[in-house]
Amino acid sequence: MCIRDRYSNGVMIMDKCSDLLPDYFNFVKGLVDSEDLSLNISREMLQHDRQLKIIEKSIEKKVKNELAKMLENDRDNYEKFFKAFGLQLKFGIYNSYGANKETLQDLIIFKSAMSDKPITLKEYVQSMPEGQKHIYYACGETADKIGMMPQVDAVKEKGYNILFFTDDVDEFAIQMLREYDSKEFKNVCANDLDLDTGEEKEALKKENEQYKELFDAMKEQIGDGIGGVRFTSRLKNHPVCLTSEGAVSAEMEKVLNSMPGSNGAVKANLFLEINKDSALANKVKSIDPKDTEQVKKTAAVLYGSARLIEGMSLESPVEYTDLVCELLAGE
């Protein structure tokens, strides 16, 4: 970035000046032409120059407005731009505890379940059907993999769109936003998805209470990896899934534990959920909670299957495969 004083013809070149251009816009390069700027001072003092602060605000506003114009009037080129520099905008939302979210939130775009083209948060909200309370999202490696997740079925059945988060930073950035246009973001894998009616919730609660002893036995066999086991009504065409409770989701666990030095220390509070309307549910209901061996095998296979669906690793793939083959051979 070059700064030129128009009257003194002085020029100062700055390779990186965070006070002049924020990191999330550092793909911009150019010349700043100023009528009144003190160049006969050190670089350190220049960083805190009042005039420089005014210039910085002007540049940031100009860049944002130009990007907004491209987004509105030249969508194809904006999508190409976003593929190259979208991560910087998302990191800009995440950094500084969301201090820059107002500047950047209308510039980010995501693929979604109901659109072939990426959409903005504003476009998502504008297309929400009456009665939808939340902005729903799901995380995964690719849009295709997210689309096949068991947890998306119930949301799509309601006619609600789902934003697809395929970048590691996406969910972290959204937690800094917390809401958009007074609509709270909701992970479809969260255990408080809340799509059922009051009567449906009560019926499900009674059914889970009825099989509490069995589910407690399954949880004990799985160990510390799970917060609980239960039936769910969120699944339509799939037998099992994992949901999370609290600030750390299953996807966050994967991202944080992939970082150097993490040693797998981050653990999401996960729950194993079984489709209450599936043939599998009837099989589970027939298990005697006191049959420790059968409970152990069933819990291991269901939990392992749910982890694989989430793209999570298994502690012992060989043991899991042996159990699946054993159960198949016994049918």
79-88 pLDDT, tens digit per residue, is 999 999 999 9
Contact criterion met (CB below 8 Å) for 189 and 262: no
| CA distances from residue 276 to 172, 191, 203, 280, 282 in whole angstroms, order as listed | 32, 15, 11, 8, 8
Name residue, tokens 């749910």.
306
Per-residue pLDDT of the chain (331 residues; tens, 9 = 90+): 555 555 445 555 555 566 678 889 989 887 777 666 555 555 555 555 677 778 888 889 999 999 999 999 999 999 999 999 999 999 999 998 899 999 999 999 999 999 989 999 999 999 999 999 999 999 999 999 999 999 999 999 999 999 999 999 999 999 999 999 999 999 999 988 888 889 999 999 999 999 999 999 999 999 988 999 999 999 988 999 999 998 899 999 888 988 887 777 888 999 999 999 999 999 999 999 999 999 999 999 999 999 999 888 898 999 999 999 998 887 5
- pLDDT tens for residues 101-142? 999 999 999 999 999 899 999 999 999 999 999 999 999 999
Mind listing the domains of the chain with CATH numbers?
2-73 (3.30.230.80), 101-187 (3.40.50.11260), 198-329 (1.20.120.790)
pTM of the model: 0.87
